[in-house]
């Protein structure tokens, strides 16, 4: 999985957040969790999985390396 | 009385932790303000999560759910889980890199250098302070409401007193309940003491302790309340019977309104205290745990709180309860064990205080570095003087916030928090432009800040003093969307138009902030 794939999944999740098909659903999952709440709790887990994947496959190591180089620029000038 | 004693013991432990962590304080302004960049991944996660999960998350979410139904989780919590980590990943890590490379301590220092403008800091600083004040108020009001809910009398609709107020002789005016002004004073004083003693190091340790406390107590509260209601299934069935529409979103919130809440979590991109947390990370790797765990931690706190808020609608004893007091009253009425009740309320206060400390600390740092030292120069003050300047400003901010909290504002904790987040979220285009848009100019940023701040002040004033008078339980919308959408658009359009019409930044500045490794 690469950087592009991560951000495609991000966009997909962003649109899946708008679960209009659950809007008037008063059903219960596991006997007590309203469907609208259960869906979004699962969404939170999906988001965590996405970010775990991003950390594993799309971590900006180059940014880290640049910051860790010796600093010749000195302190902030403003 | 027992719950209050338990709470006082908790507050004592917190103070002791603050004193203990202050012994590691190295006595320098660098350590006071940035803990000398020595805070690792676990402390960073606890600190960031503790700061973002506030009275808004515990008291506010249950209050809003009581009014709006279960859709509240989707509008804030699941969006936040996706977008907060996106902001950390896209902006936070790059800002950490700039902070490490160029030695920035505050948001203003970074933006001044990035946009070649000393004046920008003087425009940004007061706007940030004004936007933080509602966030502080959320904490003080939530604490006062929760403790008042705990200590208030419980009276049936027919006038039968189920439980008298906890201190009828001491607090006659509030029917025996601890008045919010007293809770606010105690909370503000305790936070002030440990922030005063150890700066960022104390707040990081206190946040870690408090985050653990409120997460555990949140799960415990949920379990005990569910059991008292006959189990989660019975609790949900009771709501379906009495108030079924609250178990879905139809008739409660439109799809456009729901969608427009996406602008609220973008606030993490400009929250000054989060900038400082990014700066206190030992390394970029310290962010990894935060990025992954944040959505899960939000879920662990918000699902129970939203369920408690909606289950309150199935409990006849809760009818007529003011929304802000729902969580406190559910615990007080349904949890029949005083020691456990005390611990649960300690958890609520923990969540509130873990945000207050970071705000106080952050504003102290900004004032000292971005206003005083920037105006007078670094050599004008000794390190000790800088520490005392920071501490004095903390005291001043606490006093002003506390004074405002004494007025009865016509708004619930959730909506007040959302106004704060809307302001910061509106400025997100500026954070993005700083990292990704070479053509953004100082004039564009300054114009965007002023336009956004002016619109925010106008809209919150209208909501508080006009709209809420006529529609106390309704959410103020513009064209069917949260005002955050209009604020965001104002900032974005102003930034783009004014930047394109003004002189581009210096090549040297572009080279400094868009080196090959970052400029992608």
pLDDT tens track for B131-151: 988 888 888 888 888 888 888
Interface test with A, best of B299, B304, B371, B511 (most A CBs within 10 A): B299
Interface test with B, best of A4, A27, A44 (most B CBs within 10 A): A44
User: Given an 8 Å threshold on Cβ–Cβ distance, is A34 in contact with B236?
Assistant: yes
**Residue ranges of A 16-55 with Cβ closer than 8 A to chain B:** 17-20, 22-26, 28, 31-37, 39-41, 43-45, 47-48, 50-52, 54-55
Q: Between A16 and B13, where is the model more confident?
A: A16
**Res B114: pLDDT:** 96
Instruction: Report residue A77's pLDDT band, with 50, 70 and 90 as the boundaries.
Output: very low
Q: What angle do CA B435, B437, B440 make, to 5 degrees?
A: 110
**Res A72: pLDDT:** 46
Is residue B268 within 8 A of residue B38, CB to CB? The reply is no
- The string of pLDDT tens digits covering residues B319-359 is 888 888 888 888 878 887 888 888 888 888 888 887 788 78
Q: Between B364 and A59, where is the model more confident?
A: A59
Closest chain B residue to A56, measured at CA = B288
What would the two tokens of residue B145 be? 């409401």
User: d(Cα B233, Cα A32) in Å, to the nearest integer?
Assistant: 4
Q: Of all residues in chain B, what percent carry a pLDDT higher than 90?
A: 37
Look at residue B468 and tell me whether its pLDDT is greater than 80.
yes
**Res A21: pLDDT:** 94
User: Given an 8 Å threshold on Cβ–Cβ distance, is B73 in contact with A48?
Assistant: no
Largest distance between two CA atoms of chain B: 76
Which residues in chain B touch residue A57, judged by CB atoms under 8 angstroms apart?
A: none
Closest chain B residue to A6, measured at CA = B86
Residue B478, strand partner residues: B481
- The predicted complex's ipTM stands at 0.90
| Interior/surface letters B47-80, b for 16+ CB within 10 angstroms, e for the rest | bbbbbbbbbbbbbbbbbbbbbbbbbbbbbbbbbb
Does pTM surpass 0.95? no
3-class secondary structure per residue, B71-90: HHHHHHHHHHHHHHHHHHHH
Closest chain B residue to A7, measured at CA = B86
* Residues 6+ away with beta carbon under 8 Å from B73: A36, A37, A40, A41, B61, B65, B302, B303, B306
**Res B381: pLDDT:** 83
User: Given an 8 Å threshold on Cβ–Cβ distance, is B233 in contact with A32?
Assistant: yes
CB pairs under 8 A between A and B: 170
User: Given an 8 Å threshold on Cβ–Cβ distance, is B295 in contact with A45?
Assistant: yes
**Res B36: pLDDT:** 43
Task: Centre a 10 Å sphere on the Cβ of residue B369 and count the other Cβ atoms it contains.
Answer: 24
Closest alpha carbon to B503 in B116, B118, B122, B119: B116
Look at residue A67 and tell me whether its pLDDT is greater than 80.
yes
Interface test with A, best of B83, B117, B248, B371 (most A CBs within 10 A): B248
> For B295, which of A14, A51, A59 is closest by C-beta distance?
A51
Instruction: Report residue B78's pLDDT band, with 50, 70 and 90 as the boundaries.
Output: very high
What would the two tokens of residue B284 be? 């970029």
Q: Between B494 and B417, where is the model more confident?
A: B494
Query: Residue B154: which H helix or E strand, with range?
Result: strand B154-155
**Res B415: pLDDT:** 84
**Res A53: pLDDT:** 95
- Give the pLDDT mean for B96-104: 88
- The string of pLDDT tens digits covering residues B366-425 is 888 899 889 988 788 887 888 888 888 888 888 888 898 888 777 777 888 899 999 999
**Res A44: pLDDT:** 96
- The string of pLDDT tens digits covering residues B428-457 is 999 999 999 999 999 999 999 999 999 999
Closest alpha carbon to B48 in B288, B349, B391, B390: B288
Q: Is B12 exposed, middle or buried (0-12, 13-18, 19+ CB in 10 A)?
A: exposed
> For A73, which of B86, B101, B296 is closest by C-beta distance?
B101
- Give the pLDDT mean for B187-216: 78
Tokens 């659903």, located at residue: A25
Closest chain A residue to B305, measured at CA = A37
User: d(Cα A76, Cα B30) in Å, to the nearest integer?
Assistant: 15
**Res B27: pLDDT:** 56
Half-sphere exposure of A30 (CA within 13 A, CB side): 9
CA A19 to chain centre: 17
Instruction: Report residue B280's pLDDT band, with 50, 70 and 90 as the boundaries.
Output: low
> For B291, which of A41, A51, A64 is closest by C-beta distance?
A51
User: Given an 8 Å threshold on Cβ–Cβ distance, is A64 in contact with B116?
Assistant: no
What would the two tokens of residue B14 be? 């917190």
Which residues in chain B touch residue A3, judged by CB atoms under 8 angstroms apart?
A: none
Strands B154-155 and A28-29: unpaired
Question: What are the angstrom distances between the C-alpha of B399 and each of B21, B353, B369, B403, B408?
Answer: 25, 16, 21, 6, 17
Which residues in chain B touch residue A60, judged by CB atoms under 8 angstroms apart?
A: 93-94, 284
Is residue B439 within 8 A of residue B504, CB to CB? The reply is yes
| Interior/surface letters B235-252, b for 16+ CB within 10 angstroms, e for the rest | bbbbbbeeeeebbbbeeb
> For B284, which of A51, A63, A75 is closest by C-beta distance?
A63
Look at residue A17 and tell me whether its pLDDT is greater than 90.
yes
- The string of pLDDT tens digits covering residues B252-261 is 999 999 999 9
User: d(Cα B298, Cα B78) in Å, to the nearest integer?
Assistant: 8
Closest Cα of chain A to B70: distance in Å?
6
- Give the pLDDT mean for A2-9: 89
- Give the pLDDT mean for B260-270: 92
Residue A33, strand partner residues: A29
What would the two tokens of residue B209 be? 């302790």
- Supply φ then ψ for residue B39, to 5 degrees: -90, 125
**Res B26: pLDDT:** 56
**Res A41: pLDDT:** 97
What would the two tokens of residue B516 be? 């090959």
Instruction: Report residue A76's pLDDT band, with 50, 70 and 90 as the boundaries.
Output: very low
User: Given an 8 Å threshold on Cβ–Cβ distance, is B117 in contact with A68?
Assistant: no
Interface test with B, best of A18, A31, A37 (most B CBs within 10 A): A37
User: d(Cα B385, Cα B84) in Å, to the nearest integer?
Assistant: 37
| Interior/surface letters A51-68, b for 16+ CB within 10 angstroms, e for the rest | bbebbeebbbeebbebbe
Describe the crossing of helices B442-462 and B483-501 by its angle, rounded to 10 degrees: 160
Which residues in chain B touch residue A52, judged by CB atoms under 8 angstroms apart?
A: 292
Interface test with A, best of B292, B445, B512 (most A CBs within 10 A): B292
- The string of pLDDT tens digits covering residues B14-64 is 888 777 776 665 555 555 555 445 667 777 777 777 766 777 788 888 989
User: Given an 8 Å threshold on Cβ–Cβ distance, is A18 in contact with B299?
Assistant: no
Which residues in chain B touch residue A33, judged by CB atoms under 8 angstroms apart?
A: 232, 236, 307
> For A75, which of B103, B248, B288 is closest by C-beta distance?
B103
User: d(Cα B477, Cα B461) in Å, to the nearest integer?
Assistant: 14
- The string of pLDDT tens digits covering residues A19-58 is 999 999 999 999 999 999 999 999 999 999 999 999 999 9
Residue A20, strand partner residues: none
Describe the crossing of helices B413-426 and B483-501 by its angle, rounded to 10 degrees: 20
Q: Between B398 and B511, where is the model more confident?
A: B511
> For A37, which of B73, B93, B296 is closest by C-beta distance?
B73
> For B102, which of A31, A64, A75 is closest by C-beta distance?
A75
**Res B74: pLDDT:** 94
| Interior/surface letters B400-438, b for 16+ CB within 10 angstroms, e for the rest | ebbeebeeebebbbbbbbbbbbbbbbbbbbbbbbbbebe
Q: Between B473 and B182, where is the model more confident?
A: B182
Task: Centre a 10 Å sphere on the Cβ of residue B81 and count the other Cβ atoms it contains.
Answer: 30
Instruction: Report residue A78's pLDDT band, with 50, 70 and 90 as the boundaries.
Output: very low
**Res A38: pLDDT:** 97
> For B78, which of A17, A23, A64 is closest by C-beta distance?
A17
**Res B386: pLDDT:** 80
What does the mean pLDDT of chain B come to?
A: 86
């Amino acid at each position: 999985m690469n950087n592009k794939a991560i951000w495609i999944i991000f966009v997909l999740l962003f649109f899946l957040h708008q679960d209009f098909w659950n809007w008037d659903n008063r059903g219960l999952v596991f006997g007590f969790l309203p469907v609208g709440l259960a869906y979004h709790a699962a969404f939170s887990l999906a988001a965590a999985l996405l970010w775990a994947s991003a950390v594993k496959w799309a971590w900006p190591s180059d940014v880290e390396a640049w910051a860790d180089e010796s600093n010749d620029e000195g302190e902030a000038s403003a | 009385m027992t719950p209050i004693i338990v709470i006082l013991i908790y507050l004592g432990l917190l103070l002791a932790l603050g004193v203990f962590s202050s012994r590691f304080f190295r006595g320098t302004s660098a350590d006071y303000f940035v803990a000398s960049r020595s805070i690792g991944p676990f402390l960073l996660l606890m600190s960031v999560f503790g700061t973002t999960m506030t009275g808004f998350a515990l008291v506010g979410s249950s209050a809003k759910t009581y009014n709006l139904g279960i859709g509240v989780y989707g509008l804030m919590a699941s969006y936040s889980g996706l977008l907060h980590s996106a902001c950390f990943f896209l902006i936070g890590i790059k800002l950490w890199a700039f902070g490490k490379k160029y030695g920035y301590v505050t948001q203003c220092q970074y933006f001044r250098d990035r946009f070649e403008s000393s004046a920008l800091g003087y425009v940004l600083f007061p706007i940030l302070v004004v936007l933080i004040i509602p966030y502080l108020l959320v904490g003080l009001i939530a604490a006062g409401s929760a403790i008042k809910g705990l200590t208030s009398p419980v009276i049936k609709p027919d006038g039968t007193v189920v439980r008298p107020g906890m201190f009828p002789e001491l607090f006659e005016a509030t029917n025996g309940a601890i008045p919010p002004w007293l809770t606010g004073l105690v909370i503000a004083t305790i936070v002030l003491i440990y922030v005063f003693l150890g700066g960022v190091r104390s707040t990081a340790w206190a946040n870690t302790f408090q985050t653990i406390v409120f997460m555990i107590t949140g799960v415990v509260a949920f379990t005990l309340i569910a059991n008292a209601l006959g189990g989660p299934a019975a609790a949900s069935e009771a709501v379906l019977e009495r108030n079924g529409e609250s178990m879905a979103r139809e008739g409660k919130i439109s799809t456009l309104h729901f969608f427009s809440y996406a602008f609220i979590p973008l606030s993490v991109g400009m929250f000054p205290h989060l900038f400082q947390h990014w700066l206190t990370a030992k390394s970029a790797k310290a962010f990894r745990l935060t990025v992954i765990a944040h959505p899960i931690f939000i879920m662990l706190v918000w699902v129970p709180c939203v369920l408690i808020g909606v289950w309150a609608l199935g409990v006849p004893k809760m009818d007529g309860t003011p929304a802000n007091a729902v969580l406190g009253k559910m615990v007080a009425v349904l949890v029949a064990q005083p020691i456990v009740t005390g611990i649960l309320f300690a958890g609520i206060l923990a969540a509130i205080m873990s945000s207050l400390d970071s705000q106080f600390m952050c504003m102290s740092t900004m004032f000292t570095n971005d206003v005083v030292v920037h105006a007078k120069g670094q050599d004008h003050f000794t390190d000790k003087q800088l520490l005392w300047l920071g501490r004095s400003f903390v005291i001043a901010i606490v006093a002003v916030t506390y004074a405002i909290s004494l007025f009865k504002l016509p708004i619930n904790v959730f909506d007040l928090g959302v106004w704060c987040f809307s302001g910061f979220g509106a400025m997100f285009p500026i954070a993005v432009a700083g990292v990704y848009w070479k053509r953004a100019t100082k004039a564009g940023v300054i114009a965007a800040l002023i336009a956004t701040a002016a619109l925010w002040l106008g809209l919150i004033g209208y909501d508080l003093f006009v709209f809420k008078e006529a529609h106390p339980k309704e959410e103020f919308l513009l064209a069917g969307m949260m005002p955050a959408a209009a604020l965001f658009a104002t900032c974005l359009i102003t930034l783009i138009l004014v930047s394109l019409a003004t002189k581009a930044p210096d090549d040297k500045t572009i080279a400094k902030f868009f080196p090959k490794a970052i400029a992608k």
